[in-house]
């Protein structure tokens, strides 16, 4: 008998269904998924939310930004405590919510110098 044949015989000697036939197996899978969510997903989402809030709090006039709609613009006016900011993109001024800003690309010194 070769090693492959003995392995097949060993596999056939076990219980039919093996571990999957155990009535506690679904609870084990649910427990593993819950553990993965608590250890990996939850801390990652909290960190991303904290970084987004910090970025929006540091938003200043003259910052080049990218919105979740794909608009790239320069912040013209931003007031603390308000949910809206005004940006300039080419020859257009837009009033947008702070929450749509996904990235700060840099700063436009010419815009930042205007008062």
48 and 69 share a domain?
Answer: no
- CATH code (residue 100): 2.30.30.100
80 and 50 share a domain?
Answer: no
50 and 72 share a domain?
Answer: no
Q: Quick one: which of 41, 99, 100 has its CA closest to 69? A: 100
70 and 92 share a domain?
Answer: yes
pLDDT tens digits for range 13-45: 455 556 667 788 889 999 999 999 999 999 999
50 and 68 share a domain?
Answer: no
87 and 45 share a domain?
Answer: no
Helix (H, G, I), strand (E, B) or coil at 63: strand
67 and 104 share a domain?
Answer: yes
Instruction: Look up the pTM and report it.
Output: 0.61
- CA pair distance 72, 106, nearest whole angstrom: 11
Give the long-range contacts of residues 37-45, CB within 8 A, separation 24 or more: none
pLDDT tens digits for range 34-84: 999 999 999 999 999 999 999 888 889 999 999 999 999 999 999 888 889
Count: domains in the chain: 2
- Domain containing 64 equals 59-113
Which of these three, 33, 54, 75, is where a domain ends? 54
């Amino acid at each position: 008998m070769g090693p492959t044949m003995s392995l097949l015989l060993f596999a056939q000697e076990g219980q039919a269904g093996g571990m999957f036939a155990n009535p506690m197996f679904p609870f084990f899978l649910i427990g593993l998924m819950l553990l993965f969510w608590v250890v990996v997903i939850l801390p990652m989402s909290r960190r991303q939310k904290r970084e987004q809030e910090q970025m929006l709090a540091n938003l200043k006039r003259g910052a080049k930004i990218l919105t979740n709609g794909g608009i790239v613009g320069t912040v013209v006016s931003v007031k603390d405590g308000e949910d809206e900011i005004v940006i300039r993109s080419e020859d257009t001024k837009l009033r947008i919510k702070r929450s749509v800003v996904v990235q700060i690309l840099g700063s436009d010194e010419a815009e930042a110098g205007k008062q």
